[in-house]
Amino acid sequence: MTAPRGGCFGKVLEIDLSKQTYKTREVSDEIYQKAIGGNGLAAYFLTTEYKAHKDPLAEDAFIYVGPGPLNGTYCVSTRTSFAHMSPYTGLISHAETGAHFGNEIRWAGWDGIYITGRSKKPVWLSIVDDKVEFKDATKIWGKDTEETHEAIIKEMNDPYARTAVIGPAGENQVPFSCVIVERFRAAARSGTGMLMGNKKLKGLAVRGTKAVPVVDNAKFMEMATYAKKLAIDKECWQGVKRWGTAGLLELKNFVDGSLITKNYQTTWYPDIVKIGAEAANRKFWKRHVACNHCPIHCLKLGVIRDGKYKGLIAEGPEYESGGLLGSNLGMTDFNSMIALIEVCDALGLDNISAGGVLGFVTELMERGILKPADLDGLKPKWGDGDTYMELIRKMAYKEGKAGKLLSKGVKKMAAEIGKGSELYAIHVKGKELAAHDPRADKARTYSYCLGSCGGDHHEGASTRALVIFAMINSLCTCSFASALIWGGENAKITVGMLNPLCGWNMTEDDYWTTGKRILTMERVFNVREGISRKDDALPKRLTTEKLPAGPKKGAVFTEEDTKKMQDEFYSFVGWDAKGIPTEATLKAYGLEYAIDDIARARKEYNL
């Protein structure tokens, strides 16, 4: 076991909430080379420490808050990964978020935070360099994310501290609740909020004053400067700088034909002009906000200037939030949509899953499968912002019949409701899909189906991109400022930065091997929980119902498409026809420890 020479500290902060103690866990350079950090390192911990069929809410279940080796260095735009076994899907899960939180962890001298145990009373953690304090959170328990953030910053007495907090949804253990980082950014989609709520951990606040050591600074700066220059200059991204991801709302509707509308009934929604980027620009946006060292500043802040919600400062719409809580719900009133987005953030709910659930119940109501009596007398219709607002609130507090039903997520809801509602429940591996309709945006199916978390839009839209995204989720770099901009140069730039930073001798081939290794580790975890080829597929509605209108009218994602996609990917990463990593593959990636697990799973699930 050798200590890392640079890039990583070799130290992970291990926190035990049950005993309210902390210690340093040493991680060797070999493991960093194998798993990089962030999501990859979490996958390593999860596969080596968890036995199959672990209870994701057990007391010793952990959350790994992991930045990667590039966080806190000159690299352009870096992020944070929250990874753990998801209580929502029961599979491995990771959520990445922007902002400065991850860098602050690194500047505090840690490679990541490993949180385990369960506190008896609510706490929040204050981490200032090496000093960790468990603070009483009884007073802020129950407050929304913004108030919590303010209260924590006030108690830290340091406006430069960075926070990650949960809202009431996390406290009430809604399975798709999220962590809100620095008020406007969310690490969502995997139920991290529920897990933190279960551990009675209200939030984390971090402040660091150290620096990340670099082995060969001159070489590192050269490559990092080159990478940053690409992010500044690349022409195709000037639109994202100007319009954020909201610009995609119009693009995806009028050109690409893949904007989800009314729970996947169609992708044609001309009313998008009322709630899209242009409307936001005219009547909402005020500022551009960037993550650390990022020239793209894709986050847009604005204020609602009239009507019921006058004076509400909010972030968005982004493509996913504007899609799921906008066109998916048939919204035509811009202000109402923004209020929905902001309330979801305040309560700590995942915008995408919440939007998916609301779209689902609205369609069931329309088709008469659900009655208002099932939802406490509420009758959601397309575009009815007030009812949606009430449902979101009920969802977050699990209040009444409606709250209890809706907070289960579409998969369990469909199972409970029955009556053919399964057809309208759009999810992959139990998680709602994001706002790209895979019938038109076929490449996105790779991410939805083959990505390890299920239903996730952020895992790469082609075979090679899946490997690249496995890497960027472990390096915790941004898909806009790095992966997608670097394009074909991804391997070159990443290796060119990592080698001088950490003193490694990675080659470009190693880059691909490492990416595939991380994907395989995640797959090993999922296979143990019973995932195989049959689960890597879209729901029936998207493979049978043709798109009724729009630029891609008549498109459908056929069974052949699915088969082709799966075969292509499995052979690329070295898995067999059932989507299980073969023994030779595991050996090639140095994952011998997983061979027994896989053999057991094959027997158990008859694969």
**144 vs 432, beta carbon nearer other proteins:** 144
Among 293, 464, 492, 553, binds other proteins (CB under 8 A): 293
Piece in contact with other proteins (CB under 8 A), picked from 13-21, 69-77, 114-122, 253-261: 69-77
107 belongs to the binding site for other proteins (CB under 8 A): yes
Judge whether 206 and 124 are in contact, CB under 8 Å. no
Among 54, 135, 283, 297, binds other proteins (CB under 8 A): 297
Among 303, 369, 549, 607, binds other proteins (CB under 8 A): 303
Q: How many helices (H) and strands (E) does the chain have?
A: 26, 17
* Number of neighbouring beta carbons within 10 Å of residue 287: 12
**69 vs 430, beta carbon nearer other proteins:** 69
**14 vs 150, beta carbon nearer other proteins:** 150
> Which amino acid is located at 150 in the chain?
E
Q: What is the DSSP string of 537-553?
A: S--HHHHHSPP-SSTTT
* Least distance between other proteins and beta carbon 286 (Å): 5
Judge whether 171 and 141 are in contact, CB under 8 Å. yes
Among 25, 133, 215, 400, binds other proteins (CB under 8 A): 400
**91 vs 240, beta carbon nearer other proteins:** 240
Among 393, 464, 578, 602, binds other proteins (CB under 8 A): 393
Question: Between 363 and 392, how does the x/- string for binding to other proteins read (CB under 8 A)?
Answer: --------------------------x---
Among 45, 110, 264, 309, binds other proteins (CB under 8 A): 309
3-state secondary structure 181-216: ECCCEEECCCCHHHHHHHCCEEEEEEECCCCCCCCC
Query: What are the C-alpha distances in Å from 511 to residues 2, 72, 191, 506, 559?
Result: 21, 21, 30, 7, 32
Among 23, 139, 287, 367, binds other proteins (CB under 8 A): 287
* Least distance between other proteins and beta carbon 455 (Å): 27
Dihedral over alpha carbons 223, 224, 230, 231 (to 10 degrees): 160
Closest residue by Cα to residue 194 from 315, 332, 95, 50: 95
**17 vs 75, beta carbon nearer other proteins:** 75
Question: Between 112 and 151, how does the x/- string for binding to other proteins read (CB under 8 A)?
Answer: ------------------------------x-x-x--xx-
Among 4, 87, 168, 500, binds other proteins (CB under 8 A): 168
Among 399, 422, 510, 535, binds other proteins (CB under 8 A): 399
Q: What is the DSSP string of 103-159?
A: HHHHHTT-SEEEEES--SS-EEEEEETTEEEEEE-TTTTT--HHHHHHHHHHHHT-T
Q: What is the DSSP string of 244-297?
A: GGGHHHHHIIIII--B-BTTTTBS--TTHHHHSHHHHHHHTEEEEE--TT-S--
**208 vs 539, beta carbon nearer other proteins:** 208
What's the distance, CA 128 to chain centroid?
26
Judge whether 449 and 565 are in contact, CB under 8 Å. yes
3-state secondary structure 452-492: CCCCCCCCCCCHHHHHHHHHHHHHCECHHHHHHHHHHHHHH
Angle CA(221)–CA(227)–CA(230) in degrees, nearest 5?
A: 140
* Least distance between other proteins and beta carbon 380 (Å): 17
283 belongs to the binding site for other proteins (CB under 8 A): no
Judge whether 32 and 212 are in contact, CB under 8 Å. no
* Least distance between other proteins and beta carbon 204 (Å): 15
288 belongs to the binding site for other proteins (CB under 8 A): yes
Among 34, 79, 94, 100, binds other proteins (CB under 8 A): 100
Closest residue by Cα to residue 162 from 198, 125, 191: 125
Query: What are the φ and ψ backbone dihedral angles of 304, each rounded to 5 degrees?
Result: -80, 130
Piece in contact with other proteins (CB under 8 A), picked from 11-19, 33-41, 395-403, 591-599: 395-403
Among 57, 215, 273, 313, binds other proteins (CB under 8 A): 313
Residues 320-339 that bind other proteins (CB under 8 A): 339
Binding site for other proteins (CB under 8 A): 72-74, 100, 107, 142, 144, 146, 149-150, 159-160, 168, 172, 182-184, 208-214, 217, 221, 232, 238, 241-242, 286-295, 297, 301, 303, 305, 308-313, 339, 342-343, 346-347, 389, 393, 396-397, 399-400
